[in-house]
Amino acid sequence: MSFSRRDFLKAGVAGIAIGSFPGLAFASSELVKKKGQRVVVVGGGFGGATAAKYIRKWSKNKIEVVLVERNANFISCPMSNTVLGGTRKIEDLTMSYGTLQKKYGVKLIKGEVTAIDPEKKKVMLADGHLSYDRLIVSPGVDFMFDKVEGLDAKVASESIPHAWKAGAQTVLLRKQLEQMADGGVFALAIPKGPYRCPPGPYERACQVASYLKEHKPKSKVLVLDANPDIVSKKGLFMAAWNELYPGMVEYRPNSMVLGVDVATKTAKTEFDDVKADVLNVIPPMRSGVVADMAGLANVDARWCGVDFLSYESKVHQNIHVIGDAVSAALPKSGHMATSQAKICAAAVIEMMSGKPVDQAPVIANTCYSMVSGEEAMHVANVYHFNAEKMAMVPAEGGGVSATRSEMEGAFAGYWLKNILNDVLL
C-alpha cells in the first residue's frame, strides 16, 4: 500500500499542527517579527493575492499582511487554454507580486507551509514560523491521483499532463500538440464535478481543435467526460464543435477514466481502452493540501465549510478559507475567488476592529470561454447571501451569452486585463 504525501501530511504534519509536539514544531525563529495586528495569507492565487491587497488598502495600511506563496510569479489559469490554441504564450499570463509589495506594503515570503497550529496561531515553514491574529488560507485545489491508476504527480509533470494549474504543464501540453503527427488523436479526460472552472475542459477542447484545424486538420479531439452531460454552456459548446470543427470533436459522456497506461498513452474507462497520441487527463480534485494542515476540509474530507459572511472556517476560529477550496454550490473560478476574497478582507478588518460584519454580502462571477482564436462566450451571475439557507444563492437575471462572437472574444481579453490589474496592481 503506497503512502502519499497527503497521507503523510494528515498523519504527521496535522499531528504537529494541533500541537502534538509543541516544543519541536515552532522552535525555529519568527520569519517576520510581529509588531501589531497581523493577517497571514497562505496562497498567492486570485483569492489570496486579492485578500492581501485589499486588507492593506481598506485598513489604510494599519493591518500588517504577510503573503506566503511558493511560486516566484503569479500565472493566470483563466485564459491559459489559449496557450494551447496558440493565441497567447505563458509569458502573457505571468505577472510579478512586486506591486503588492511596493505599493501596498504586503510582505511576501516565498516558501511552502509545512504546518499550521490553530491554537498558537502560528504557521510553520521550513526555515521558521509566522505568528498571526487571523489566517486566510487560499489553497486552491490538489489532485486525487489515487483515483486514476497509473497516474501520479511525476507522470503528470513528465508525460501525461493535466495542465490544470497554469505553468510548466501548460507549456508541455502545447509542445506535445506541436509534436503530434497530422491524423493523431488528442484525448481529454474530464473528472466528475465539482472541479476548478466548470467550462474549462470544454473550452480546452475548442482551443485544441482550433490549433489542429489550422495545422493538423486530419486529427481528432476525443472528450472523455466522467459527467453525464456537458456541465456548463452546453448549447454553445455543442454549436461551436459542430459549426467550427465539424467531425473533429467527439464527445463521450459517462466516460470516467479509471487508469492510464503511460507507455502506450492509453486511457482506461469502465467500458473500453482509448489510445491517444496526446493524452490529457484531468484528475478529480479536492481542496489544496494546506487545508489538511489545520483539518479544514470538513466536507466529505474534500472541501472546506465556511461562514459565508466572513469565510471563517467552520472548524477553527480566526482561520478563513477562500477560493476553489470552499464547499459551496458556486463556480470554482478565478473571478469567484476574487469576490470571496473581498468579502473576507472586509470582514477580517471589521472583526479585528471588534465591529459586526456585513450581513448581506453580494458578489459576482463572470467566466469567458474562448472557442476559437477570436470568438468567445460567457456565463455571468450575481450571488447574494440567503439568511435562511446561510449560503450564497444566485439572483435573477444571470445566464449565458446568446451566441459566441468576436465581440465577446474582445471582451474576454479586457476582462482578463482588468481582473489581473485588480488582483496585482
pLDDT of residue 304: 98
For 122-158, what is each residue's pLDDT tens digit? 999 999 999 999 999 999 999 999 999 999 999 999 9
Nearest to 132 by CA among 341, 380, 414, 320: 320
Comparing 57-66, 338-347, 389-398, the range with the smallest average pLDDT is 389-398
CB atoms within 10 A of CB 53: 26
Q: In this prediction, what percent of the chain has a pLDDT beyond 70?
A: 94
pLDDT of residue 11: 37
pLDDT of residue 18: 37
Mean pLDDT, the chain, rounded, equals 94
Domain boundaries, the chain: 5-140+288-357, 149-284
Q: In this prediction, what percent of the chain has a pLDDT beyond 90?
A: 92
Does residue 7 carry a pLDDT above 60?
A: no
pLDDT of residue 214: 98
Does residue 40 carry a pLDDT above 90?
A: yes
CATH classification for the domain delimited by 5-140+288-357, as one of 3.40.50.1370, 3.30.465.10, 3.10.50.40, 3.50.50.60: 3.50.50.60
Does residue 13 carry a pLDDT above 80?
A: no
Does residue 289 carry a pLDDT above 70?
A: yes
Yes or no: say if 18 and 116 are a contact pair by the CB < 8 Å rule: no
Does residue 221 carry a pLDDT above 90?
A: yes
Does residue 396 carry a pLDDT above 60?
A: yes
pLDDT of residue 20: 35
Mean pLDDT to the nearest integer, 65-81? 98
pLDDT of residue 9: 40
**5-140+288-357 and 149-284, same CATH topology:** yes
Does residue 2 carry a pLDDT above 80?
A: no
Does residue 198 carry a pLDDT above 60?
A: yes
Mean pLDDT to the nearest integer, 64-71? 98
Q: What is the CATH number of domain 149-284?
A: 3.50.50.60
pTM for this one? 0.93
Per residue, what are the HEC states of the chain?
Answer: CCCCHHHHHHHHHHHHHCCCCHHHHCCCCECCCCCCCEEEEECCCHHHHHHHHHHHHHCCCCCEEEEEECCCCEECCCCCHHHHHCCCCHHHHEECCHHHHHCCCCEEEECCEEEEECCCCEEEECCEEEECCEEEECCCEEECHHHCECCCHHHHHHCCCCCCCCCHHHHHHHHHHHHCCCCCEEEEEECCCCCCCCCHHHHHHHHHHHHHHHHCCCCEEEEEECCCCCCCCHHHHHHHHHHHCCCCEEEECCCCEEEEECCCCEEEECCCEEECCEEEECCCEEECHHHHHHCCCCECCCEECEECCCCEECCCCCEEECHHHECCCCCCCHHHHHHHHHHHHHHHHHHHCCCCCCCCCEEEEEEEEECCCCCEEEEEEEEEEECCCCEEEECCCCEECCCCEHHHHHHHHHHHHHHHHHHHC
Mean pLDDT to the nearest integer, 204-215? 98
